[in-house]
A and B are shown apart, each in its own frame.
Chain A
């Protein structure tokens, strides 16, 4: 007990240099933990973007390009899939559901996805979770739109609002169709996936958007005028699209997956490809592993530097403290008391530093959470410390302790040799 008291008082007496070592350790622990936390969560939310989908089918391109475009709404597909092919394949044996995806349009920078009403019942993310509505209902008319959680929140839209969709990508667009506004009928609950950043419209609405540039303009124009008439009977939400960007398939049994995939890859009428999202997600993450490892390496280096900083400070102090060791020896402290005192001091510094670092990590994550969600789509849960992180902390503490042993061992030998004959 007396040793702990001495260690504490001695640290307090040197608070300036102690505080510096403590801060460097805290910052490095913060860096390491934050990077690890963001990395794990990024991996998790990455893998959670799509689930329950057995195959993604699109025109021939790279696996990753297809995945990025169809699921992450990143990049675009040069070619589409013809509607005939979609209808042909989606009625094959073993296919439980098929969701056509028509992409390429945006609204204020958010992707517009043309699909069918089945999307809201079959699309799954995370741990096979279905989409749910925080307000409203699925689209039932050709000018209805269902917003992702973030779109509604960011743009301040509510049920019943009218919005205008632009043709093409980007926030600014060449064609605005003010005469064809869409009405918000539903808002999805947040998922932490690209769904949150998507506007969902019926397939036919996509055709209507492009109406001005297609030969169907006349037909659609007429249909538009007939809106009231349309609503009296069952509305056609699909229309007659020529092609879609891609489609998702779910099977009755996963056993069909490989067979159907092969068939699609060899599909005669049109060059198509099918990818298994889980496999491609892993491939994509593998490509990012390099960056991930580099980040981890950097934070480990920062940690090592901070521990060396502590070592330098402790060793520099030690030579000034030989007198102090002699005094302790004179009142009967044994060399191992000196050793314990010294290692206790470094342990206290690292313990406080680590605790402070964990607190800083949480502070940083809390501050960065909205930004990460908005910019990178990474959903950070401010959960408690995981067993993996506890292990990391334990490793840091152990490293700090081992580093602290060096001045302690030196002090031990000083106290053996010097005895009480230090000349100051």
Chain B
């Protein structure tokens, strides 16, 4: 599902020391990967590469049998729209859309996701509502202004947006760091409940070691890298 082979990346270009150097990483479909890394370990860089915003100077990243580094930047944008659900650490929502629209916007840039989403129900709005309820956001909140929602509620909306239209890969960048202990676990369990329905692969990045037991595969980023000394 996710294949990284001899990846080499530096923000400064080819001559500088690499920011990220990964010999190999394999994640199977449906696997829940816990990527542990303290801040400064190249997490954001790796996520940028996985999401197709950046391309490695050397090596290959293959997602869902598509080699990302062979695509043009526009094709990578389209690939992301079609196949990747992304959850930020916080402030995931567009302030001018209500929760429902914040969920359905994921289908607006991808025909594929829209088709898949509509195969589950008659309308995107309806589907978004169902997803939000399943993720624990009651209907009374669905049309509120997003800035009136709590952080926890906002992250549920973000999770719904990431899973709508059944993307094959969900990337979550410390999505629980703003939540309290009890909510963290609940959030992850609700997210898995959704991704397991479609068999999506989850890449979950966090520095909180305590969450690791919830995942089927745990990788430490500094172990993955060629050596901690190489880090920028």
Contacts and interface: CB of A to CB of B under 8 A. Distances in A.
Interface of A: 2, 6, 9-10, 12-14, 323-324, 326-335, 337, 419-421, 424
A323 to B, nearest CB: 5
Contact of B48 (A9, A332, A419): A419
A51 B187 CA distance: 86
Given A329-B77, A332-B81, A334-B78, 14 more contacts: A2-B105, A2-B109, A6-B96, A10-B96, A13-B96, A330-B80, A331-B86, A331-B161, A334-B74, A419-B51, A419-B54, A420-B47, A420-B53, A421-B53
Interface in B77-98: 77-78, 80-82, 86, 88, 90-97
A107 B74 CA distance: 81
| Top-5 shortest CB links A-B | A332-B81, A419-B53, A13-B96, A332-B109, A330-B86
Contacts of B82: 332
20 contacts: A2-B105, A6-B94, A9-B96, A10-B96, A13-B96, A14-B96, A324-B94, A324-B95, A326-B88, A327-B93, A329-B77, A331-B105, A332-B81, A332-B82, A332-B109, A334-B77, A419-B53, A420-B48, A420-B88, A424-B91
B110 interface: yes
B44 A421 contact: yes
Contacts of B94: 6, 10, 324, 327-328
B93 A330 contact: no
Interface bin, chain B: 20 to 34
Contact of B91 (A6, A323, A335): A323
Given A420-B88, A424-B91, A2 B97 contact: no
Contacts of B105: 2, 6, 331
B63 interface: no
Contact of A329 (B44, B53, B95, B108): B53
A40 B82 CA distance: 58
Contact of B108 (A2, A323, A324, A424): A2
Interface of B: 44, 47-48, 51, 53-54, 74, 77-78, 80-82, 86, 88, 90-97, 101, 105-106, 108-110, 161, 173
Contact of A330 (B54, B88, B90, B110): B88
A299 B48 CA distance: 49
A424 B178 CA distance: 13
Contacts of B86: 330-331, 420
A2 B102 CA distance: 12
A9 B93 CA distance: 14
A190 B54 CA distance: 75
Contacts of A421: 44, 47-48, 53
A84 B91 CA distance: 96
B71 to A, nearest CB: 13
Contacts of B80: 330, 332
B95 A331 contact: no
Contacts of A12: 96
A14 B95 CA distance: 10
A330 B77 contact: no
A323 B80 CA distance: 18
Residue among A9, A329, A330 having the largest count of chain B Cβ atoms under 10 Å: A330
A148 B141 CA distance: 72
Residue among B44, B51, B80, B108 having the largest count of chain A Cβ atoms under 10 Å: B108
A424 B90 contact: yes
A333 B109 contact: yes
A71 B83 CA distance: 81
A332 B93 contact: no
A332 B161 CA distance: 12
Nearest to B164: A331
B181 to A, nearest CB: 23
A13 B77 contact: no
A420 B92 CA distance: 11
A328 to B, nearest CB: 8
B74 A13 contact: no
Residue among B80, B81, B96, B161 having the largest count of chain A Cβ atoms under 10 Å: B96
A296 B93 CA distance: 46
B28 to A, nearest CB: 24
A9 B105 CA distance: 13
Given A13-B95, A419-B48, A421-B44, A331 B81 contact: yes
A419 B11 CA distance: 13
